[in-house]
Amino acid sequence: MSAPKAISPHRLSSLLRRQKDPNLALQLFQNPNPQIQSPKPFRYSLLSYDIIITKLGRAKMFHQMEQILRQLSRETRFVPGEIIFCNVISFYGRARLPHKALQMFDQIPSFRCDRTVKSYNSVLDVLFKCGEVEKMREFLVGLGNHVTPDACTYNILINACCKSGCLHDAWNMFDEMRKRGVRPNGVTFATLISGLCANYRLEEAMRLKEDMIRLYRVEPEAPVYTPLIKELCRIGELSLAFGLKDELERYKVKLDSAVYTTLISALSKFGRKGEAYWILEEMKVSGCKPDTVTYNAMINGFCMEKDFEAAYKILDQMVKEGCKPNIISYNVIIGGLCNEGKWVEANDLFEDLPRRGCKPDIVCYRTIFAGLCDWKRFKEATSILDEMFFKGYAPSSAGIHKLVDGLCQEANMALLLKALTSLGNANLINVDIWGLVISMACKKEMLSNVSELVDTVMVP
């Protein structure tokens, strides 16, 4: 019987890449040849280190990842590339561990690897996304002494300024960028334009878009136009929004789903559902597949027009095209039906959600609960209340007031006792609720009943 063939470093890299389970990948990495006894240690390739570190980082198996990093630091046959450490920094950022990201940055030289602007940018991005503004400022102090900021550096800083509402600082960063000879790119303009639109400075945003093309010779991109189109749609300037869409098409820019969805949502909102269908078909022809957000925009438009038949057809179309409706799809329809007093249809759809493969969320429960209360279906609302508590959800304070107030108005003592008992068990009865009950009792001269209610509900 021949001896088992040993796994080579190259073969190990290939096996690690194909292994989807990070735990099994780690076992393979740690013991690639369990059946072969060899006095020589296994000579891992840099690629194998890269692959296993990436798998462990994505799985948030940081303790194991750090063990591999310590092993890598002892390797003398090669110098790891900076990109490995940039990825590790990003993994820590996604896990909201900025202090770990900073530690990794500080440790890079111990791997005999030089830090460039790439690792500085990785740390800046993590600090920004984790909301560590002060640490970001501290980190920036020494940046200029070690590396030259590039377009990515400035894009992160401009984005941070825009997100914090400091547009003046964002413009200053943009000016500094140009003075240093760093060329703005599409991300730079998309970030600034998005910040301007978010602060309702549409005219400035439109001028910047023109400057981008005319002065800076930056080719138009969909992300630059999307916030402009959204803002124009928000204020009802649909003709100008479609003008920007036409402009993108003249530049032969492929439109993304965000542009199409924004236009479909606006057309649906303003009752132009025929045109919304036309844009949806154009979207498909262009090769841009509609997603759940796109279809939900159409569903919302139809529900606003009270055309529930059309909304249901969109649900069927989604399923037919392999785009599974999500809970938002159903919540929009259930909310629309409740608003129109179609509580039977709303409740039927609510109860049908498990069969449709969709789990009701807290918004769904609160919507159907409030809708039933609005239309004085208090028996059904009380049943939903118990189901909510069983699932770990709770109604809004406004929904609770609707139920208790309605039961008080009807003087339905049996159902009121049931509702108050459920609310009391969930510790959701406040002074206002008792005020409603006592007020009802005083008006209807039923103080003895209130005393019974209080005694029953307050019994532990």
Domain boundary among 254, 285, 319: 254
Measured from the Cβ of residue 344, the count of other Cβ atoms closer than 10 Å reads: 12
Whether 409 is covered by a domain: the verdict is yes
Q: How far apart are CA 46 and CA 9, in angstroms?
A: 9
Contact present, 298 and 276 (Cβ < 8 Å): yes
Confidence check: pLDDT of 449 > 70:
no
Instruction: Give the pLDDT score at 427.
Output: 82
pLDDT band at 442 (very low <50, low <70, confident <90, very high): low
**Average pLDDT value over all residues in the chain:** 88
Token pair, residue 14, equals 């290939």
Whether 86 is covered by a domain: the verdict is no
Confidence check: pLDDT of 1 > 50:
no
Token pair, residue 401, equals 């007031």
Question: Looking at the 3D structure of the chain, how many domains does it have?
Answer: 2
Q: Cα dist. 92→74, 96, 104, 105 in Å?
A: 22, 6, 9, 11
Whether 6 is covered by a domain: the verdict is no
Whether 135 is covered by a domain: the verdict is no
Closest to 136 measured CA to CA, from 147, 122, 150, 148: 122
CATH of the domain at 223: 1.25.40.10
| Tens-digit pLDDT profile for residues 2-32 | 556 778 889 999 999 999 999 999 999 998 8
| Tens-digit pLDDT profile for residues 280-317 | 889 988 888 899 999 999 899 889 889 899 999 999 99
| Tens-digit pLDDT profile for residues 237-257 | 999 999 999 999 999 998 888
Domain boundary among 186, 219, 254: 254
* Average pLDDT value for residue range 38-54: 90
Question: CA dihedral defined by 211, 193, 199, 296, rounded to 10 degrees?
Answer: 140
Whether 85 is covered by a domain: the verdict is no
Token pair, residue 430, equals 């406040």
pLDDT band at 201 (very low <50, low <70, confident <90, very high): very high
pLDDT band at 146 (very low <50, low <70, confident <90, very high): confident
Q: Please tell me which residue, 337 or 409, carries the higher pLDDT value.
A: 337
* Average pLDDT value for residue range 169-188: 94
Best mean pLDDT range from 186-190, 305-309, 400-404? 186-190
Q: Report angle CA 16, 18, 22 to the nearest 5 degrees.
A: 60
Token pair, residue 219, equals 């080719």
Instruction: Give the pLDDT score at 147.
Output: 87
pLDDT band at 425 (very low <50, low <70, confident <90, very high): confident
Of the ranges 117-131, 163-177, 437-451, which one carries the lowest mean pLDDT score? 437-451
Q: How far apart are CA 84 and CA 306, in angstroms?
A: 54
Whether 265 is covered by a domain: the verdict is no
Contact present, 306 and 298 (Cβ < 8 Å): no
Question: Where do we find the tokens 């063990």?
Answer: 67
* Average pLDDT value for residue range 211-222: 93
Domain boundary among 254, 289, 308: 254
Instruction: Give the pLDDT score at 454.
Output: 55
Token pair, residue 294, equals 């796109």
Secondary structure in 3-state letters for the chain:
CCCCCCCCHHHHHHHHHHCCCHHHHHHHHHCCCCCCCCCCCCCCCHHHHHHHHHHHHHCCCHHHHHHHHHHHHCCCCCCCCHHHHHHHHHHHHHCCCHHHHHHHHHHHHHHCCCCCHHHHHHHHHHHHHCCCHHHHHHHHHCHHHHCCCCHHHHHHHHHHHHHCCCHHHHHHHHHHHHHCCCCCCHHHHHHHHHHHHHCCCHHHHHHHHHHHHHCCCCCCCHHHHHHHHHHHHHCCCHHHHHHHHHHHHHCCCCCCHHHHHHHHHHHHHCCCHHHHHHHHHHHHHCCCCCCHHHHHHHHHHHHHCCCHHHHHHHHHHHHHCCCCCCHHHHHHHHHHHHHCCCHHHHHHHHHHCCCCCCCCCHHHHHHHHHHHHHCCCHHHHHHHHHHHHHHCCCCCHHHHHHHHHHHHHHCCHHHHHHHHHHHHHCCCCCHHHHHHHHHHHHHHCCHHHHHHHHHHHHCC
Whether 402 is covered by a domain: the verdict is yes
Whether 210 is covered by a domain: the verdict is yes
Q: How far apart are CA 272 and CA 263, in angstroms?
A: 11
Closest to 399 measured CA to CA, from 351, 426, 433, 444: 433
Range of the structural domain that residue 455 is part of: 378-459
Token pair, residue 313, equals 């057809």
